[in-house]
Amino acid sequence: MHGNYERLIYFLKNFLKDENIKISESMKKHTTFNIGGPCDIMIFPESEYEFIKSMKEIIDKKFPYFILGSGSNIIVKDGGIRGIVINLTKFNKISVKENIINAKAGAKLCDISNIACKNSLSGFEFACGIPGTIGGAVTMNAGAYDGEMSHVIHKVKVMDYEGNIFDIYNENMDFGYRSTVIMKKKYVVIDCDILLQFGDKNKIQENINDFTIRRNLKQPLDYPSAGSVFKRPEGYFAGKLIEDSDLRGYIHKNAMVSDKHCGFIVNRSCANSKDVLELIDIIKRKVYENFKVELELEVRIIGEDKEN
């Protein structure tokens, strides 16, 4: 192992549990696509203290790093990730004060949605079936069923690439379609305040049930995937363009255009990133040939190619 990594691990062991530092961890286990080679080091901070102390050291010593939520919007290449992956899924505390929910970056959207319902708080139902963390969702302004993060986020606590920590209020988030200032400036979300309205608990639960049924009907949830691969092009739907290019159920090696929802690529069994990236190229080419529309990726591609 690289000598500098040994010094970093020695430092991290002062405050992270041994089981929260993993060497050469396969990214397959940490992405909903079940794809990706190993990262050099993966750490799992459990508290704000552990997260910030780790981040400051990593930034200070100029290690390359990648912030990981649930890994539900990424394709990690087969050569894996060089540097430190900060896995936030154990940094997931959620607390409620009146109609504001504070969620640490690694809190799951479904858990926030259920806690909102238990507290008769309405407005977060749209996010119940998005399989990500609040940190990942805020960063890309995730949305579904006419709702999106921009409608409910009050304030986000972030760290910049120099380790400075500050709040960004909703009006300064520069929310766009699947984009925010956080994404543009590569800030790291530490936690956020979600502002909801008091409502009728039964009605909120009904909305959650309805969205869950709709998702189960439309999405290939029985296969590993990263959700919609492409952004919605203006004036079109990516899934429809793909379907109209005769690609429904199209198989390329171990990757497949879902026959249930053409906007999804699914991992049929043991696909690697190469299979998926080649299929993405095929889809983009066919859609362009047929409709002169350039599909843009919604998923993020991370890591290195595997050397042969």
Ligand X SMILES: Cc1cc2nc3c(=O)[nH]c(=O)nc-3n(C[C@H](O)[C@H](O)[C@H](O)COP(=O)(O)OP(=O)(O)OC[C@H]3O[C@@H](n4cnc5c(N)ncnc54)[C@H](O)[C@@H]3O)c2cc1C
228 catalytic? Reply is yes
Residue 219 binds ligand X, judged by CB under 6 A: yes
Q: Which of 225, 228, 258, 273 is catalytic?
A: 228
The site string for ligand X over 1-40 (x = CB under 6 A, - otherwise) reads -------------------------------x--------
155 within 8 A of 169, measured Cβ to Cβ: yes
245 catalytic? Reply is no
Rounded-to-integer distance, Cα 39 and Cα 48, Å:
23
Rounded-to-integer distance, Cα 119 and Cα 101, Å:
10
Distance, first Cα to last Cα, the chain: 21
Give the one residue of 36, 37, 45, 143 binding ligand X; rule: CB under 6 A. Answer: 143
| Least gap, CB of 104 to ligand X (angstroms) | 9
Residue 130 binds ligand X, judged by CB under 6 A: yes
Q: Which of 72, 178, 225, 258 is catalytic?
A: 178
Contacts of 153-157 with C-beta under 8 Å, sequence gap 24+, read: 153/192, 153/193, 153/194, 153/195, 154/100, 154/192, 154/193, 154/194, 154/195, 155/192, 155/193, 156/182, 156/189, 156/191, 156/192, 156/193, 157/189, 157/190, 157/191, 157/192
Give the one residue of 34, 54, 72, 99 binding ligand X; rule: CB under 6 A. Answer: 72
CB-wise, 99 or 135, nearer to ligand X?
A: 135
| Least gap, CB of 52 to ligand X (angstroms) | 12
Rounded-to-integer distance, Cα 77 and Cα 71, Å:
13
Give the DSSP letter string of 200-254.
-HHHHHHHHHHHHHHHHHHS-TTS-EEEE-B---TTS-HHHHHHTTT-TT-EETT
CB-wise, 247 or 266, nearer to ligand X?
A: 266
298 catalytic? Reply is yes
Residue 225 binds ligand X, judged by CB under 6 A: yes
Instruction: With contacts defined by CB under 6 A, name the span among 127-135, 203-211, 235-243, 255-263 that binds ligand X.
Output: 127-135
Residue 84 binds ligand X, judged by CB under 6 A: no
CB-wise, 107 or 286, nearer to ligand X?
A: 107
Give the one residue of 100, 144, 181, 282 binding ligand X; rule: CB under 6 A. Answer: 144
Cβ-based neighbours of 38, under 8 Å, separated by 6 or more: 24, 25, 26, 27, 80, 81
Residue 265 binds ligand X, judged by CB under 6 A: no
Catalytic residues: 178, 228, 298
- Give contact residues for ligand X (rule: CB under 6 A): 32, 66-74, 88, 105, 130-133, 135-137, 139-140, 142-144, 182, 188-189, 219, 221, 225-227, 300
